[in-house]
Amino acid sequence: MTYDVIIKNGQYFDGHGDNSPDSGAVRHLGIRQGRIAKVSAEPLDETGCPRVIDASGRWVTPGFIEPHSHYDAEIIAAPELSESVRHGVTTVMTGICSISMICAEAEDCSDLFTRVEAVPREQVLPLLKARKTWRSGAEFRAFVENHPLGPNLAAFIGHSDIRASVMGLVRSVSGEKPSEDELRQMEEKLEEALDAGFMGMSSMTTKLDRLDGDRAWAKPLPSTYASWSEYRRLHRILRRRGRILQSAPDAVGKINIFAFFWESIGWFRKALKISLLTVLDLKSQPWLYRFGPLGGWIANNILRANWRWQFLPSPFVVYAYGLDFNSFGELADARILRDMKDPEQPYVEAAKPEFRETIRQNMKSMLTAGLWHRDFSDGWVVECPDQNLVGKNFAEIGAEQGKDPVDAFLDLAVLYKEQLRWGIQFAGERVDVMRKLCANPQVQVGFADSGAHLKNLASYNFPICMLKYVHDAELEGQPFMSIARTVHRLTGELADWFGIDAGHIREGDRADVVVINPEGLTDEVWGMADAPFPAFGMDRLVNRNDRAVDAVLINGRVAYTLAEGYADDLGKAQGYGRFLPALDSPAVQPAGKPATV
């Protein structure tokens, strides 16, 4: 009996956590036909095996799962999803935050997506016009099953997508209520997607994100215009079928969190599974890390809900260019900077003394605090024509120039525009708090936003970051969670909750496998760099801590190794990732022939 791949001598973690008797033991894995054929305490016969990977001193784990990506466009243009693969992610989920590219017309999908997720419209719109032939969940699944995926794909259908396809984009953001017939059409589209294997529906209730294009520029997403009676009609379908709602409460007002709690209740009815944004160790709300998990505990243990908060297990650092800063949308009087379509107009506005005074007053009002802690002294210059400013924060620059930090920032932005690149850390500064959140059972790991905000943030390596938190604590003699439990949180726990065939590597399981070098879990993990992204004709912000990942296998095939790079046919031929349907969904047969690009 020969194997396609053998991974030998690795410290084995099967994705089942501390309950597995083999966790942490040295094991040898034999892989055949995309599955784990053998897990052995004794060396395997290597005769006839074309690929043997020596994992001595390494951790062998299931492939990591990202439950919050915005790869909807990239998976069409560059399906290898190389930045995730090189960090061990072998399954991604799309259709998040009410935005999917399933039902609506190509231009509608582009306008829903590009400005919200900071991806260039001039790339996405032509791509969708050329490639989008599907109008339903089943048709999209058929496309994916004939597409050369890198990682596996599991999908949500977006409420904004459904709403725009039924009402038309402009009407869907007009405030006009849908008719009864339109509501029934929305229900039908959701049912069709669930039949096709989609895990559930995503929605959005915060109005900070705005549309692109000429027809509804700067309008909030269609999902935010829905009434709770509309939401509830769709929630009933999810509840009845045991599927998942992914959503976000109002980031500014926050009061509608109680409506989500009500929807989640499992008393006298089936609980609605909810995965909600987000728990972070925010500088703006340093108490939130306590109340979010506490609310989740109350929901799950008293209200009999099935609720999880999504969490990013790494520092949340955002890069911005000039006045192009999404969080200006949190300030009522600065929102004009986000709503102006002419790229020159925000700089004209920012030069006015009366505007600056209003902004200073807005910055002091924390009653409507969102993600941003509104402190320009905490932002630093990353790139600037004046090299003497690089590395300094705006308070330091203001002190040198005799200015308020707000004026110091605005003066530089007006002078240099997008040549001023600056950074700011929103969350994740307190290591002790991050460790608590990593271990909290009410928290779901993997809010990474991969595929979005391409020039603004990079969290492709979030699993490696979480492993570093845990490994560092062990080295300090203050362990708070085992490596086995950490791997489980990043793999099997997510797969089991979402109900997909992934996250485990016992005999018979899918052979999505990562080989981790713990010596590579250095401070490089926190770094970001620019790298070319040919598919969209631009550079993007990425992570480059490559010493942490030795090898990545998807469906039993070696997709990436540190020594050799990516497989030549990754993203060009089928055989790596697959569409992963919800495990309780009706079978949908693949259509067409295998595709190459």
Rounded to whole angstroms, the Cα distance separating 582 from 455 reads 33
Tokens 């040919």, located at residue: 534
Q: Is the pLDDT of residue 255 over 90?
A: no
Q: Confidence class of residue 592 from pLDDT cuts 50, 70 and 90?
A: very low
Q: Mind listing the pLDDT tens digit for each residue in 496-524? A: 999 999 999 999 999 999 999 999 999 99
User: Is residue 442 scored above 70 in pLDDT?
Assistant: yes
pLDDT tier at 594, thresholds 50, 70, 90: very low
Provide the percentage of residues in the chain whose pLDDT is more than 70: 96
pLDDT of 593: 30
The pair of three-digit structure tokens given for residue 63, joined into one six-digit string = 């492939």
What is residue 579's DSSP assignment? Answer: B
Amino acid at 139: E
Q: Give the pLDDT of residue 26.
A: 97
Q: Strands 421-427 and 380-383, how do they pair?
A: antiparallel
> Cβ-count burial of 21 within 10 angstroms (0-12 exposed, 13-18 middle, 19+ buried)?
exposed
For residues 191 and 194, what is the distance between their CA atoms, to the nearest angstrom?
5
Burial (CB count <10 Å: 0-12, 13-18, 19+), residue 402: exposed
Please report the pLDDT score of residue 588 as a whole number: 38
468 Cβ partners below 8 Å, 6+ apart? Answer: 521, 525
Q: What tokens appear for 399 in the block?
A: 């002190």
- Mean pLDDT, range 231-257, rounded to an integer: 91
Give the mean pLDDT of 518-541.
Answer: 96
In the prediction, which pLDDT does 369 show?
60
- DSSP 8-state symbol, 551: E
State percent of the chain over pLDDT 90: 82
> pLDDT (tens digit, 9 = 90+) per residue, 452-480?
999 999 999 999 999 999 999 999 999 99
pLDDT bin (cut points 50, 70, 90) of residue 422 is very high
- pLDDT tens for residues 564-583? 999 999 999 999 999 999 98
pLDDT digits (tens, 9 = 90+) for 267-313: 989 999 999 998 999 888 888 889 889 999 999 999 999 999 999 99
Q: In the structure, what pLDDT confidence band is assigned to residue 365 with cuts at 50, 70 and 90?
A: low
Query: Is the pTM value of this prediction over 0.85?
Result: yes
Task: Report the C-alpha gap between 241 and 546 in whole angstroms.
Answer: 41
* 90-106 mean pLDDT: 98
What average pLDDT does the chain have?
A: 93
Residue with the two structure tokens 């297990």: 313
SS (H, E, C) 403-430: CCHHHHHHHHHHHHHHHCEEEEEEECCC
**pLDDT over 70 at 206, yes or no:** yes
pLDDT digit string, tens, across residues 68-83:
999 999 999 999 999 9
Tell which residue, 140, 152, 148, has the closest CA to residue 102: 140
Q: Are 576 and 149 in contact (CB under 8 A)?
A: yes
In angstroms, the CA 537 to CA 476 distance is: 44
Q: How far apart, in Å, are the Cα atoms of 236 and each of 55, 303, 313? A: 48, 17, 32
- Reported residue count of the chain is 597
Q: What domains can be seen in the chain, in order of their start residue?
A: 63-317+428-501+518-538 (3.20.20.140), 319-425 (no CATH)
Q: Work out the burial of residue 175: count CB atoms within 10 Å of its CB; fewer than 13 is exposed, 13-18 middle, 19 or more buried.
A: exposed
Q: What is the mean pLDDT of residues 59-64?
A: 98
Q: Give me Rg for the CA atoms of the chain.
A: 24
Q: Are 313 and 466 contacting, i.e. CB atoms less than 8 angstroms apart?
A: yes
CA-to-CA dists, residue 537 to 78, 116, 339, 454, angstroms:
12, 19, 26, 12
DSSP annotation string for 195-251: HTT--EEE-------B--SSSSTTPBPGGGG--HHHHHHHHHHHHHHT-EEEE---T
Tell me what pLDDT residue 495 has. 97
366-413 pLDDT, tens digit each: 555 678 888 888 899 999 999 999 999 999 999 999 998 989 999 999
Q: What is the structure's pLDDT at 597?
A: 27
Using one digit for the tens of pLDDT, what is the confidence trace for 316-346?
A: 999 999 999 888 877 766 777 778 888 899 8
d(CA 362, CA 234): 37
pLDDT score, position 292: 87
Going by the DSSP 8-state scheme, the letter that residue 519 receives in this structure is G
- Average pLDDT, stretch 124-130? 97
Residue 596: pLDDT band by 50, 70, 90 thresholds? very low
Average pLDDT over residues 478-504: 97
Question: Rounded to whole angstroms, what are the CA distances from 79 to 94, 430, 514, 568, 569?
Answer: 13, 36, 19, 13, 11
Residue 537 identity (one-letter amino acid):
G
What does the pLDDT read at residue 309? 95
